Amino acid sequence: MEYIRKASRPIWKVALVALLLTSLPVGQVLAGTGSAAPQTVEAVQDDPYQQAAAEIRAIYEAHLDTLSDDKQRHYGQRLWRLTGDADYLALNEAYGKQLMAELADYDAAVHSEEGITERNQQLLESYATDSEKNRLRRAMFSERPEMLLPTRLLFRLAQAHYHGLLDKISPQGLARLEAAVMSVDWQAFLTDPDVLSIYAAQVANDVAFLHQLGLVDLRSDVMHAFQKLYPEERIATLSHAEYRNWLYGMTHIVIAYSHYYQRLVPESEVSWIIDAFQREGPGLVDSVKEDILAEIALSMQLAGREDLPLVDMIRDHLLEVRDAEIGIIPGDDGDLSLSDGEHRNVLAIMVLGWSGQLTPGPDLGDWWQTGRFENRPVVTP
């Protein structure tokens, strides 16, 4: 677990100078071009939000190789979509190789019912139990073990689609993988109140992925089930854990609609979610962790409502809670691990460094065949 030792001079100041001197872009992105317009030092310093985003980026990019492959993928994918900077392509290309290898492994597993059953059991046995949330989810899956392989495989197929790699799978192989995904009753699973009450964010992802891949459209069914489970009059009575689940579910409805920061979202499609966030208002800052707060702000930004006071309220809160010496957003227990805090801090970078423009992909299809990258537009219907 990587920590930064506190020193007499705040490390983020040193890292920020290095970031700016090497001309890493910290400003507005030219959507779809794969290029960016770097800001001057003065422009960054004139905007406290952009300056904080640049400082947090500097810390993480100075220590990126200390993070796991998955966290590097998570960081590189989001920073590409925020900036379009070609420096993040290597991380995305490495993920493309890993993703295709994982899909080949799943293809081997789904050749038989026995292989599917065995993989489901392996996934259940290895399911994390390090938190109460994960223990509840493991218990939920122990009653529905047949859903484990389909949910993991669905995520990987959606990622392949995002990166222009879906057609690099053989037609026979893709048909097998899609059949394995669709071998279960998604409608029953995704509308089950027991699943929604502890797994709402992942439900939002799954329903979006199924629609994105053209497998089945359950969006209306799931939205109805979610709203039935969480009527406005019930919100004040929710436990702290389920209140977070409700908020997290709504943020992921918006984020999944954006294909994970690849496109903006029509406000009309998510107005009920924006209204719900505004009803909760300032009380959110004292009620939930910075991860969820950042996703709430991002949801409003994605819907074109960065003008709402709640967005700047959350941004100001993120500035206030940054560790004064290390420069990153700590955990709610004060933890300053770069690895444990990657999700929280990359969200903060996106919220604070928001420009209103996004870069899709990257499309790795040409690179997969030729080893050369061309930033072709990614179709995101």
- In 3D, which of 328, 310, 311 has the Cα closest to residue 319? 328
Altogether, the residues listed in the chain come to a count of 381
| 69-83 vs 342-352: helix crossing angle, rounded to 10 | 0
Question: Does the structure show a pLDDT above 50 at 50?
Answer: yes
pLDDT single digits (tens) 153-185: 999 999 999 999 999 999 999 999 999 999 999
Quick one: pLDDT band at residue 44, thresholds 50, 70, 90? low
Going by C-alpha positions, the residue among 54, 31, 27 that lies closest to residue 327 is: 54
Cut 0.85: pTM above it: yes
pLDDT computed for residue 30 by the predictor? 25
- Tell whether the model's pLDDT for residue 41 goes beyond 70: no
**Segment (H or E) for 35:** strand 35-36
Categorize the per-residue pLDDT at 366 as very low, low, confident or very high, splitting at 50, 70 and 90. confident
Q: Is the pLDDT of residue 376 over 80?
A: no
* Angle of CA points 286, 287, 293, to nearest 5°: 85
Q: What is the mean pLDDT of the chain?
A: 88
Q: Report domain extents, the chain.
A: 48-365
**Of 34, 81, 78, whose CA–CA distance to 373 is shortest?**
34
pLDDT in tens, 270-305: 999 999 999 999 899 989 999 999 999 999 999 999
Contact predicate 19/54, CB 8 Å: yes
pLDDT band at 46 (very low <50, low <70, confident <90, very high): confident
pLDDT tens digits for 208-246?
999 999 999 999 999 999 999 999 999 999 999 999 999
Position 21 scores a pLDDT of 36
* 173 or 42, greater pLDDT: 173
Q: What is the pLDDT of residue 7?
A: 44
Measured from the Cβ of residue 224, the count of other Cβ atoms closer than 10 Å reads: 11
- Residue pair 259/212 in contact (Cβ under 8 Å)? The answer is yes
